[in-house]
Amino acid sequence: MSPGERAKLTRVEAWPVKMRLAEPYVIAYESVEEATNVFLRLETDAGVVGCGCAGPDEDVCGETAEDVLTATREVLEPVLRGNHALRAGPLLEELAAALAGRPAALAMADMALRDIAGKVSGLPLYRMLGGEAEGAEGMVTSVTVGILPEEETVRCARRWLERGFSCLKLKGGLDREADAARALKVREAAGEDVELRFDANGGYTVEETLAFARQVAPARLEFIEQPTPRDRPELLAEVAAELELAVMADELLMSPGDARAIASTRGADMLNVKLMKVGGIARAMEIDEVACSAGMPVMIGCMDEAALAIAAGLHLALARPNIRYADLDGHFDLEGDPSDGAVILEDGRLRPTGKPGLGFDVSGE
């Protein structure tokens, strides 16, 4: 009997890991010094183990690490244990119905089930999802510079560039004038060849966004991400209609339904899909299909996530041609990440390990 025929789930284990950030950062709505991720192991009667990771963000999704652990006890274990691991489609549908409002817990389960499928097939996850062998070359990722004083912003940008990165994302949203000055200074310091992006995390009004775009025109931003408040999608649509600069939706995009609403009103030019806020790979693929049909490019983004969760986002991006951008830097500064090594970073490019499934195992022991 093959491992696939004997892939009945026999054990569901989850545990939290609190990790400090080597360099705390500030964005428009919070300051971050540490992150707690929850790791999941699913064991089968064939000895195949699937791993997943949740990086919940209470401010964005209303979900905490404790919520994820509770969901594991009350939902994941009763649904998954005793079921066949390769029935991922029906299992994820059942979990999605029971995990409304807990997208990181759903994403964690999605990852672990797909990890098992990849290991049973002997293929890296991006190949399982339809990606080409060339995906092993990986994908360029941006790296984020938080809200800092102007001189410190430039120093931080230079440090990342010296480490081989070619794409920077600046955070802002608290002070439009200071944000514009920082963007212009970073462009001056970085030169012409570096891609520069800006994320206001919902901190601007429409008028402030339009004024900011005029001020930073010489900085040649690639796009501006979620400049207006998440609870006012009509404001983002107004900005998108006014600006030549591409406008990306982030915080207001939480589901395939949100993607359809944005596409139908042309409420943004681009979408930032994060597994933790949309509920995992299955829902992310639904969103990408909507975006692709509407001619909207997608960026795969992240929260403060351990490398295992980053690997899941990377595998998805490598399998979907419409996912043209990556902002997968949430693991860079996490100290004590038990999944360190789940992705390989070289000169600002992330690559998968090349092993089956997600390509990395974690243990709670």
Domain boundaries in the chain?
Answer: 9-122, 127-352
Alpha-carbon span 168 to 220, nearest angstrom: 12
pLDDT range class, residue 1, cuts 50, 70, 90: very low
Across the chain, what does the average pLDDT equal? 95
Q: Given a cut of 90, is residue 7 above it in pLDDT?
A: no
Q: What is the mean pLDDT of residues 64-83?
A: 97
The reported pLDDT for the residue numbered 192 is: 93
Is residue 193 part of the annotated active site? The answer reads: no
The percentage of the chain sitting over the pLDDT mark of 70, rounded to a whole number, equals: 97
Out of 57, 110, 225, 286, the active site residue is: 225
Q: What is the mean pLDDT of residues 56-70?
A: 94
pLDDT range class, residue 195, cuts 50, 70, 90: very high
Token pair belonging to 218:
């010489």
Sign of CA dihedral 62, 64, 70, 76: positive
Closest CA to 45 of 90, 89, 11: 11
Residues 6+ apart with CB under 8 A from 90: none
The reported pLDDT for the residue numbered 133 is: 79
pLDDT range class, residue 30, cuts 50, 70, 90: low
pLDDT range class, residue 33, cuts 50, 70, 90: confident
Which pTM was predicted?
0.95
Q: Given a cut of 90, is residue 125 above it in pLDDT?
A: yes
Q: Given a cut of 70, is residue 365 above it in pLDDT?
A: no
Alpha-carbon span 155 to 153, nearest angstrom: 5
pLDDT digits (tens, 9 = 90+) for 326-356: 999 999 989 999 999 999 999 999 999 999 9
Residue 29 neighbours by CB distance under 10 Å: 15
Q: What is the mean pLDDT of residues 142-164?
A: 96
Token pair belonging to 343:
């992705």
pLDDT digits (tens, 9 = 90+) for 310-329: 999 999 999 999 999 999 99
**How many Cα atoms within 13 Å fall on the side-chain side of residue 118?**
29
Is residue 250 part of the annotated active site? The answer reads: yes
User: Which of these CATH numbers, 3.20.20.120, 3.30.70.270, 3.30.360.10, 3.90.1150.10, describes 127-352?
Assistant: 3.20.20.120
Lowest-confidence pick of 3-17, 32-46, 264-278: 3-17
CATH superfamily of 9-122: Enolase-like, N-terminal domain (3.30.390.10)
Residue 36 and residue 58 in contact, taking contact as beta carbons nearer than 8 Å = no
The reported pLDDT for the residue numbered 2 is: 54
Strands, E assignment, 128-245: 139-140, 143-145, 167-171, 195-199, 224-225
Q: Given a cut of 90, is residue 71 above it in pLDDT?
A: yes
Out of 110, 171, 288, 305, the active site residue is: 171
Single-letter amino acid, residue 94: E
Residue 241 CA, distance from chain mean position: 26
- Name the residue with tokens 């100290």: 335
Q: Given a cut of 50, is residue 108 above it in pLDDT?
A: yes
Out of 57, 110, 222, 250, the active site residue is: 250
- Name the residue with tokens 């489609």: 89
Closest CA to 221 of 163, 167, 153: 167
Is residue 199 part of the annotated active site? The answer reads: yes
Is residue 225 part of the annotated active site? The answer reads: yes
The reported pLDDT for the residue numbered 253 is: 97
Out of 119, 169, 274, 277, the active site residue is: 274
The reported pLDDT for the residue numbered 5 is: 61
